[in-house]
Amino acid sequence: MKYRIALWATAGFLVASGWAVYFSLASKDRTMESIVFTFLRLTCPIAILGSHYSVSLYTSLVANAVTYALIGLAVETLGRQIKSVK
């Protein structure tokens, strides 16, 4: 189970890294489309806080990895409980 949670955390880190690369390559003078902004907030929850306060890149990477690890912990725990009920 620890391995799976580590995979969830790695996925969160990679998602935040992907967004960092996207925004570093995106044109600064073009406005962000609402679908991109919505998808960003769904996949990188720290972006909600980042729209109000200054958040560094490293903080957002770690926060997203921790968020995904907690989601993974919940999913894996519920999965085990569902398997034990069957």
Q: What pTM was estimated for this model as a whole?
A: 0.84
- The pLDDT-based confidence of 86 (bands split at 50, 70, 90) is low
State which residues form the domain around 76: 2-85
> CA-to-CA distance for 65 and 13, rounded, in angstroms?
5
Determine the average pLDDT of the residues in 45-71. 90
Cα dihedral value 36, 24, 27, 42, nearest 10: 10
Cα dihedral value 70, 22, 55, 49, nearest 10: -60
Q: How many domains does the chain divide into? A: 1
Helix and strand element counts for the chain (H, E): 4, 0
The confidence score (pLDDT) of residue 27 equals 74
Determine the average pLDDT of the residues in 68-72. 95
Residue-wise pLDDT tens digits, 11-22: 999 999 999 999
